[in-house]
Amino acid sequence: MKPSRIIFLFLIMALFQLQSTAQDTIIDGIVGIVGGHTILKSDVESQYLQYRAQGNITGSPTRVKCQIFENLLFMKLVFHQAEIDSITVSDSQVENEMDRRMRYFIAQAGSPERLEEYYHKSLLEIKAEMWDVIKEQLMVNLEQEKITEKVVVTPAEVKAFFRKIPKDSIPEINSEVEIGIITREPAIGEAERTEGKELLAGFKERISNGDDFATLAILYSEDPGSAKQGGDLGMFQRGEMRPQFEAAAFQLKPGEVSGIVETEDGFHLIQMIERRGDFINVRHILVQPKVSPIELNNAKLFLDSIADLIEKKEIGFGEAVIKYSDDPNKNNGGMLINPASGNTKFEIDQVDPKIFFVVDKLQEGEISSPVKWEERGTRHFRIYFLKSRSIPHVANLEVDYARIQEWTKEKKKLSVIEQWIDKNAKESYIEIMPAYSDCPFERQWLK
């Protein structure tokens, strides 16, 4: 098991995810020391349990634990160097990462209460235990970036790397598409906006006169995710909802009902249920002003004319995006960005089925007819542009140079890290206790 950034991120996350439960059953003790930083038996055992729970065990338990231990040696070595290099992270950086991690944990658990039940600790106690772990992880990440920051690869290195791959091991690249989009958002008329506000104002008056907020939410809220629960959104903290929604919600006291709050989703009434530390639970009623049929049809006709101009090559797709699109992707030339890779290429199974149904009928360079799109209660029209479509193929330098270049760079970074280990392991204080001293390590950790 070679050290890599991905592995370390996983290991540190696993360290937190299982440490509280694992320490209840594992007799702890120091099994390694790197530059004054200890590795505990529970660190190794808890991560082993995580691997086993995910079905990632290959080889004997002893060998897997040795591999985990060696990765922890490297992580502590990098952390030790980060301290020497005066690598720092701010409290706000730690807090932001902690909030992101907590949102993930809560989502996985199902609710804050279930997370607390799992760890037998309050949210505040869990966050307190996470602080040092996350701070160390961020410092390790920065130090690893520092170690490999000067790594570049030349075209000759890319070609050499690719030629060394055995022919029967060259990966196959799935079919990929690049998709552009131009969106036309029809305007919501003032009459429709006024109607929505008046409806909510009527609900608020009924609540003031004794009607139950949750019942009104079930009957009238246009939020399909919460209406059946009486508008209950569950526990959340800042950064998870629309800014305007949060600004109003966090000011409320238990039982209090807000005024009318406008967000991108529509108009809301919000009622505070409870506050617990940094988390609150509210219910809401959502009313979404409807676009008039006339405005919706105007949007379709407008995009029809734009698609016609593009087809006749009277305007390029990129120019049309800048001039006419209401989509946030206009800053990327109208191209959809794959969140998994950060680039514009999507494998077929990564494309939203509703989008793929349209673009699958297009040839490269073609533009679609206007398509109505409904999302979170909003309705608009959009046209799609198929910039490129590749067929499944074995990777080659001509078509996949950028991808192979990235593979080459990652391999070179790994080589730089391994050289760094060889050098720094000799210069740092490292002690390995007898329980792991016989491990078949990849590197020479002891002088």
- Higher-confidence position of 82 and 116: 82
**Per-residue pLDDT at 121:** 82
Residue-level pLDDT at 215: 95
Average pLDDT of the chain, as a whole number: 87
CA distance 283 to 380: 28
pLDDT tens, residue by residue, 95-147: 888 888 888 788 777 778 888 888 888 888 888 888 888 999 999 999 999 99
Q: Give residue for tokens 């009238």.
A: 220
Domains of the chain as residue ranges with CATH: 5-154+407-437 (1.10.4030.10), 173-186+292-393 (3.10.50.40), 190-287 (3.10.50.40)
pLDDT reported for residue 70:
92
pLDDT at 210 over 90: yes
CA–CA dist 191, 295 (Å, integer): 13
- Provide the H-helix boundaries in 316-396: 317-324, 353-359
Confidence grade of residue 330 (pLDDT, cut at 50, 70, 90): confident
- pLDDT for residue 246: 94
- Per-position DSSP letters for 314-331, written without gaps between them: SS-HHHHHHHH--SGGGG
In the predicted model, is pLDDT for residue 346 greater than 60?
yes
Please, which pLDDT band fits residue 5 given cuts at 50, 70 and 90? very low
Beta-carbon count within 10 A of 139 CB? 20
Most confident of the ranges 47-51, 105-109, 285-289, 442-446 = 285-289
Return the CA Rg of the chain. 28
Alpha-carbon torsion (131, 133, 134, 139), positive or negative: positive
CA distance 321 to 94: 38
Q: What are the tens digits of pLDDT across the range 9-44?
A: 443 444 444 344 434 444 568 999 999 899 999 888
